[in-house]
């Protein structure tokens, strides 16, 4: 009896709203599926009724929103899945319901107004060009997700006709690379390493120095900086700004691996991420028995470290927001057929991933990356940017790599966090250029 009370009070709504609850689809027999909008009321998905009474789900933007909005045939994906209950619920005015009943028509389902911004979505999509990869943009102060692009994409209007081909596509076109892509983060992970070094050396990290000759050799392990560049005498800030592999390998050798793993877990590694997007769990591979080579590789974001672009966006959002992570969300509010708000989503804190002082110091280091370091091509559009670049090798050949960037705009009161990965860029594509296009659109639209 106690469990029945608990279930009805605590669990019932969760179970009813679960996308795995097949009973929801019964609602489609008497409710017309609601519309999905972006934040400016641009239609992203709607149900169109033909003269013969048949219904079709239409996606006006084609493949622009394919992974985040999803599809409604052969199962469901994206928002079509997570918002299934809301879209098949009718809070229409009572007179409209009575009228529909007398006419033997379906009730109009509620609509969902998302946080997505089509102009930013288009800018990110265009900037990725022909490359595969992912872009996600988040307001760090609220958790609102403004853009979510995954390539390769597909046309949700054609899913039914192309289903077999989509499932067998060698590029894994159906994979949502923002939340389910799993990549070596490269030098973007150096933010995690830097935080751990600061925590282990709270009084002396500001005195850290290292002389970079372009290569470090330690116990038979040799690691080089990008293009074997010798960065010379560096402090911790310059090690971040120039993304010095040898300096971070040196730092990695000094870290307590148990404490390093604990910090990584506090930054959501080995955990389900907030937001409810079914993300791939990120891993570090850090163990107390790690070899010297493992320690050096992990510290610079290679080795066994695997992470999603969404996860790196959350770490960056926490840094931008003074250490506190706001729970990310895509649904702003639902409304009935008359435009009245049914339920409004409010920003909610997930919790602190680090202290405000730690976040402030990391922000300063990230600003140096843009001021004179590896992302100095950014922040030239009348706004300032702080960030971290990354080049993640995906084969034994040095020139085979993914390009990464994570960062935010407006140091004093951060406006927008952007996380980008370009698969197999191999030097032909730069994640900083993609992020720059999104920032430019945000401030100049």
β-pairing, 36-37 vs 111-114, is parallel
Tens of pLDDT, residues 65-116: 999 999 999 989 999 999 999 999 999 888 878 877 777 789 999 999 999 9
Three-class SS of residue 356?
helix
Task: Calculate mean pLDDT across residues 295-300.
Answer: 97
Task: Calculate mean pLDDT across residues 349-373.
Answer: 98
pLDDT of 398: 65
Q: 125: burial class by Cβ within 10 Å (0-12, 13-18, 19+)? A: buried
Q: 4: burial class by Cβ within 10 Å (0-12, 13-18, 19+)? A: exposed
pLDDT of 20: 56
Task: Calculate mean pLDDT across residues 415-436.
Answer: 96
One DSSP character per residue, 306-336 reads BB-HHHHHHHHHHHHTTTEEEPPBSEEEEE-
Strand partners for 48: 56
Q: Which two tokens stand for residue 285?
A: 């591979």
Q: Which two tokens stand for residue 126?
A: 């265009």
In the chain, pLDDT over 70 holds for what percent of residues? 95
Name the least confident of 33-47, 332-346, 360-374, 387-401. Answer: 387-401
Task: Calculate mean pLDDT across residues 405-419.
Answer: 97
Q: Would the pLDDT of 4 be above 80?
A: no
Q: Which two tokens stand for residue 399?
A: 């020139």
Structural domains in the chain plus CATH codes: 186-336+346-444 (3.40.710.10)
Name the least confident of 130-139, 256-265, 379-388. Answer: 379-388
Task: Calculate mean pLDDT across residues 186-207.
Answer: 98
Task: Calculate mean pLDDT across residues 297-305.
Answer: 96
When pLDDT is cut at 50, 70 and 90, the band that residue 9 belongs to is: low
pLDDT of 85: 94
pLDDT of 247: 98
CB 149 within 8 A of CB 134: yes
When pLDDT is cut at 50, 70 and 90, the band that residue 14 belongs to is: low
Residues 378-409: b if buried by 16+ CB within 10 A, e if exposed: bbeeebbbbbbbbbbeeeeeeeebbbbbbbbb
Q: Which two tokens stand for residue 276?
A: 């409810």
pLDDT of 445: 75
Name the least confident of 92-96, 213-217, 308-312, 418-422. Answer: 92-96
Q: Would the pLDDT of 238 be above 70?
A: yes
Tally of CA atoms within 13 A in the half-sphere of 119 that contains its CB: 10
Q: Which two tokens stand for residue 132?
A: 């595969």
pLDDT of 61: 98
pLDDT of 371: 96
pLDDT of 399: 74
Q: Would the pLDDT of 49 be above 80?
A: yes
Q: Would the pLDDT of 17 be above 80?
A: no
Q: What is the mean pLDDT of the chain?
A: 93
pLDDT of 1: 81
pTM: 0.93
pLDDT of 6: 63
Tens of pLDDT, residues 319-346: 999 999 999 999 999 999 999 999 999 9
């Amino acid at each position: 009896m106690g469990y029945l009370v608990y279930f009805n009070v605590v669990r019932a709504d969760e179970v009813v709203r679960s996308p795995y609850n097949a009973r929801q689809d019964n609602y489609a027999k008497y409710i017309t599926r609601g519309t999905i909008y972006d934040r400016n009321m641009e239609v992203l998905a709607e149900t169109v009724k033909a003269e013969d009474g048949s219904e079709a789900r239409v996606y006006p933007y084609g493949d622009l929103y394919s992974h985040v909005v999803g599809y409604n045939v052969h199962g469901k994906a994206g928002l079509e899945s997570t918002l299934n209950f809301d879209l098949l619920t009718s809070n229409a005015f009572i007179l409209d319901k009575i009228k529909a009943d007398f006419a033997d028509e379906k009730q109009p389902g509620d609509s969902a107004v998302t946080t997505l911004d089509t102009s930013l979505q288009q800018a990110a999509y265009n900037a990725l060009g022909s490359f595969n990869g992912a872009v996600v943009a988040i307001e760090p102060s609220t958790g609102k997700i403004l853009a979510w692009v995954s390539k390769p994409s597909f046309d949700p209007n054609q899913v039914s006709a192309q289903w077999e081909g989509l499932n067998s596509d060698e590029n894994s076109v159906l994979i949502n690379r923002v939340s389910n892509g799993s990549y070596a983060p490269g030098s973007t992970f150096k933010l995690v390493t830097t935080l751990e070094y600061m925590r282990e050396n709270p009084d002396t990290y500001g005195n850290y120095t290292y002389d970079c000759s372009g290569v470090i050799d330690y116990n038979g392990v040799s690691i080089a900086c990008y293009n074997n560049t010798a960065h010379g005498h560096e402090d911790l800030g310059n090690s971040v700004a120039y993304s010095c592999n040898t300096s971070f390998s040196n730092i990695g050798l000094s870290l307590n691996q148990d404490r390093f793993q604990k910090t990584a877990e506090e930054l959501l590694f080995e955990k389900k991420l907030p937001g409810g997007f079914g993300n791939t769990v990120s891993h570090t591979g850090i163990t107390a028995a790690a070899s010297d080579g493992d320690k050096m590789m992990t510290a610079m974001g290679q080795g066994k470290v695997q992470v999603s672009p969404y996860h790196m966006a959350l770490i960056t959002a926490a840094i931008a927001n003074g250490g506190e992570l706001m729970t990310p969300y895509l649904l702003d509010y639902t409304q009935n057929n008359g435009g009245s708000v049914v339920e409004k989503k409010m920003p909610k804190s997930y919790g602190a991933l680090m202290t405000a002082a730690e976040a402030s110091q990391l922000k300063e280091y990230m600003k140096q990356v843009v001021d004179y370091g590896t992302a100095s091509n950014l922040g030239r559009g009348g706004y300032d940017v702080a960030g971290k670049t990354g080049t993640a090798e995906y084969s034994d050949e040095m020139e085979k790599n993914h390009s990464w960037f994570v960062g935010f705009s407006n140091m004093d009161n951060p406006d927008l966090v952007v996380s980008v990965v370009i698969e197999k860029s191999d030097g032909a594509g730069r994640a900083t250029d993609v992020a720059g296009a999104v920032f430019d659109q945000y401030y100049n639209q």
